[in-house]
């Protein structure tokens, strides 16, 4: 069983922070399908301290999705600590600090994966946050800057000493972005380097691959990102059903949650993107995906997904 501080999770499988995807409806869905907990999209520390409406909207949560972690990104220790306090006041169970995002608009300001190249700044950020917030603070890192500067084990040890309650390792380097393969050995090395829980991450596409990662690396939990898109069944041993009707039912359940919690008619493009992922790669589904993409409104998307139509 995965434990982080006083929290115990029913499953060691965790939904990754996914900008544009891991919002309240998708987190609720993944929890219903068995995720131990879910992590929000990355949320800007500046957006929080300036109380920007779009940023505050990302903190929407309900009791049913708990335990939940909100993820914070930024590079200024004072602003990060102020933002962490604001974030904590919205009632999550944990805060996660993003020290792994390779996207240029994040790293050019010294945040995300750039913090792995500046351990002192990373330490200052974490220390400041831990001194201001009493929730467990987890940190998501990568293997290192590039293949010549793998520093995840030493970096993780520094984070543990600075008060982190768990570490997630996406076992790619910053310079790899999302290309190439993960190096599972990095996860084993981090696990050996610290005594707090370690969550392995990268390229897990099924429950069985998740179990393999647990066994091969000794990690305590497994975080799943892209493998969960259009596939919340990844959190269940039986995996994605074969029957198209069951897949449609899953997509329908997701859509119902989107409608309940988001201004659905305003986000038609986002809905189409999520919905079409359920059918990606399924034989004979190209007409259905095409119909979803060309649907003029939400009612039409829903019509495509009516189970009785199959």
- Interface ranges with ligand FMN (CB under 6 A): 16-21, 41-42, 71, 98, 100-101, 140, 170, 201-204, 224-227
User: What are the C-alpha distances in Å from 293 to residues 169, 247, 254, 275, 303?
Assistant: 35, 17, 17, 9, 13
Nearest alpha-carbon partner for 143 in 186, 104, 175, 178: 186
- Minimum distance of ligand FMN from residue 40's CB (angstroms): 8
- Select the residue whose beta carbon is closest to ligand FMN and give its number: 225
Nearer of residues 189 and 304 to ligand FMN, judged by Cβ: 189
Name the minimum Å distance from CB 104 to ligand FMN.
14
Q: Residue 20 CA to chain centroid, in angstroms?
A: 10
Interatomic CA distance for residues 112 and 74, integer angstroms: 7
| Separation CA 203–CA 197 (nearest Å) | 20
Where in the sequence numbering do the catalytic residues fall? 101
Q: Which of 87, 40, 85 is nearest to 67 (CA)?
A: 40
Query: CB-wise, 101 or 248, nearer to ligand FMN?
Result: 101
Smallest distance, Å, CB 22 to ligand FMN? 7
Least distance between ligand FMN and beta carbon 284 (Å) = 26
What is d(CA 228, CA 134) in angstroms, rounded to the nearest whole number? Answer: 30
Provide the token pair at 143. Answer: 């293997």
- The answer to whether the beta carbons of residues 42 and 59 sit under 8 Å apart is no
Which one, 172 or 248, has the nearer CB to ligand FMN?
Answer: 172
* Closer to ligand FMN by Cβ: residue 155 or 304: 155
The residue (of 16 and 24) whose beta carbon lies closer to ligand FMN is 16
What is the SS3 assignment for 2? strand
Cβ of residue 289: shortest distance to ligand FMN, in angstroms?
Answer: 19
- Tokens describing residue 302: 């829903």
């Amino acid at each position: 069983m995965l434990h982080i501080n006083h929290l115990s999770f029913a499953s060691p499988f965790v939904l990754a922070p996914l900008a544009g995807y891991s919002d309240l409806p998708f987190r609720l869905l993944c929890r219903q399908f068995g995720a131990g907990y879910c992590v929000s999209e990355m949320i800007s520390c500046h957006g929080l301290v300036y109380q920007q409406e779009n940023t505050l909207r990302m903190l929407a949560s309900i009791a049913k999705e708990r335990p939940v972690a909100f993820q914070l990104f930024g590079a200024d220790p004072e602003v990060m600590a102020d933002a962490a306090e604001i974030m904590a006041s919205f009632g999550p169970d944990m805060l996660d600090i993003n020290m792994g995002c390779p996207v240029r608009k994040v790293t050019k300001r010294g945040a995300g994966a750039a913090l792995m190249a500046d351990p002192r700044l990373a330490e200052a950020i974490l220390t400041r946050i831990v001194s201001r917030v009493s929730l467990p603070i987890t940190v998501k890192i990568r293997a290192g800057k590039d293949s010549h500067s793998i520093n995840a084990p030493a970096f993780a040890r520094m984070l543990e000493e600075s008060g982190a309650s768990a570490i997630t390792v996406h076992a790619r380097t910053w310079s790899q972005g999302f290309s190439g393969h993960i190096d599972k050995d990095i996860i084993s090395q981090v696990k050996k380097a610290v005594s707090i829980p370690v969550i392995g991450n990268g390229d897990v596409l099924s429950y069985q691959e998740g179990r393999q990662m647990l066994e091969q690396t000794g990690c305590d939990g497994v975080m799943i990102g892209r493998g969960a898109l259009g596939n919340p069944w990844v959190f269940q041993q039986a995996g994605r059903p074969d029957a198209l009707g069951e897949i449609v039912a899953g997509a329908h359940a997701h859509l119902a949650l989107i409608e309940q919690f988001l201004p659905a008619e305003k986000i038609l493009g986002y809905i189409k993107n999520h919905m079409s992922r359920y059918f990606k790669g399924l034989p004979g589904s190209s007409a259905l995906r095409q119909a979803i993409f060309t649907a003029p409104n939400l009612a039409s998307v829903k019509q495509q997904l009516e189970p009785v139509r199959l």
